[in-house]
Structure formats: C-alpha cells, structure tokens
Amino acid sequence: MCDRFTLSASSQELRDHFRLPYVPDVAPRSTIVPRQPIAIVANSETGTRFCVFARWGFIHGDSASIPEYVPPFARAETVDRLWLFAEAFRTQRCLIPANGWYKLMGQYSEPRFVELRGRALMAFGGIWSVWKPQPDSRSVATAAIIATNPTQALQPIHKRMPVVLRPEDYAKWLDLDTPIAELKKLMEPFTAKPLEMSAVDPNINSWKPDPELVIPRDAILCPEL
C-alpha cells in the first residue's frame, strides 16, 4: 500500500487547486506517516468546501475509546459495507491532498516514490469522522485513505494503491447524492495520467527520513512538522 506520502504544495496552491475559500497554514512535509495530522478537503452541510486537519487513522465516531488498531486505509471493495466505514462513506467522504507517495519494498529492495508528472498536486479519495473521546472533551477529526487495485504499471510493486481522483471528479466524490455505482467507478485504478516512479534511498525506513531521499529530484526540500 501507500506506506507514506508527501505534501509539498503551499496553502495557496491548495486553495487554487481545490477551489477553497480558505486554507489554514499548511507546512510542506516530505514524509507523512499514519497517526500524524493530514490535510483533508470536505463539504460542509451547506455544500461549501473547507480544509481542516485530521489524524491519519480512522476512528468511528461512536467509539468509546481509541481502538487497539486504528486503520489508515479502507478497501474500495468493502468500504460501503463494513460497519466501521460504511456511514462515513455515505456521509463524510473527503479529498486528501498529496504530491506523491512512497512504497517501501523490504530490506533488500529499493523503495519507490510514485507521483504524477512534475510532482503535480493530486487528491486521494478518503473518508473522515469526528470522534469525541468523552462528552466534555474536544472533538478529534480522523481520516482514512481508500485503497484500490494497482494499475498495470504499479503491479510489480503494489498489491494496493490509493484511490486517486481526477480534479473534474472532486465535486462528484464530495456530493452526498452521488450514487454508489458512480462512486465505485471513481475508485477504480487511476489511468487518467501516467504515474511516474523514482528510486528512494533505503533510509526512508527511518522514522524521520531526510527530505532529499527521492532520487534524482530535489523538489521535496522541506522541513518536517
């Protein structure tokens, strides 16, 4: 799967790309891992798009405590049927901005970085929830990336890949009236544009990798949060 991903776009780029009235300050990040905060784009009850931070790892809104396992991913084939995800898939779908993702390949193989040409901004299809640990505590937003089958080009390195959405499909993904059948089509492997792969230094396996690990590009020269 997408072991980690990156977001190097500025707040202004996010605002322009997703047609947002406002975007909070978003620091470029070379490596984002589960349980860290991620930017998500969703619709309000009035249909206005907004951007907030959510914890990467889905917790159902009715959970009484943090589960032992907090899934960072939901499978496209079952996201509409599993109790944990089904309600959020119906009512709280979101876009997760990214500029690419990493696939770790094991101890003896070079990891890979997958991106659109030019490290263009993209959006993963996701779901999100609002979880309140205690009645008097602060609400916490959580999110999961939806995973689908890989494209033919990515099959040698991936059993699963993130759902990548075309910009022209953002509104349909966020619209709660979109039929399930159409949503299923949007979750098919992304073929609208070619995805490119770069070799990555094996040190990506460290918890806080150097921002220059992607070879040969140096576009992700940015600090960690």
pLDDT at 115 (0 to 100): 92
Reply yes or no on whether the pLDDT at 197 is more than 50: yes
- Predicted confidence band at 181 (pLDDT cuts at 50, 70, 90)? very high
Percent of the chain having pLDDT more than 70?
Answer: 87
- Cα 82 from Cα 96, distance rounded (Å): 21
- Cα 39 from Cα 49, distance rounded (Å): 13
CA-angle at 14, arms to 50 and 177, nearest 5°:
45
pLDDT at 223 (0 to 100): 25
pLDDT tens for each residue of 23-53: 988 888 888 999 999 999 999 988 899 999 9
Reply yes or no on whether the pLDDT at 4 is more than 60: yes
**Mean pLDDT of the region 60-83:** 91
- Annotation: CATH topology of 4-215: hypothetical protein yedk fold (3.90.1680)
Please, what is the average pLDDT of the chain? 85
CA-angle at 220, arms to 118 and 58, nearest 5°:
95
**Mean pLDDT of the region 9-24:** 94
CA-angle at 85, arms to 83 and 90, nearest 5°:
105
User: How is the chain split into domains, by residue range?
Assistant: 4-215
CA 213 to each of CA 105, 121, 181, 205, 219: distance values in angstroms, whole numbers, following the listed order? 15, 19, 40, 11, 10
DSSP-derived secondary structure for 90-157: HH-EEEEEESEEEE---TTS--EEEEEGGG--EEEEEEEEEE-SSTTSPPEEEEEEEEEPPPGGGTTT
Q: Are 162 and 147 in contact (CB under 8 A)?
A: yes
Which residues are bridge partners to 203 per DSSP?
none
CB contact set of 154 (below 8 Å; sequence gap of 6+): 114, 161, 195, 197
pLDDT at 109 (0 to 100): 67
Reply yes or no on whether the pLDDT at 149 is more than 70: yes
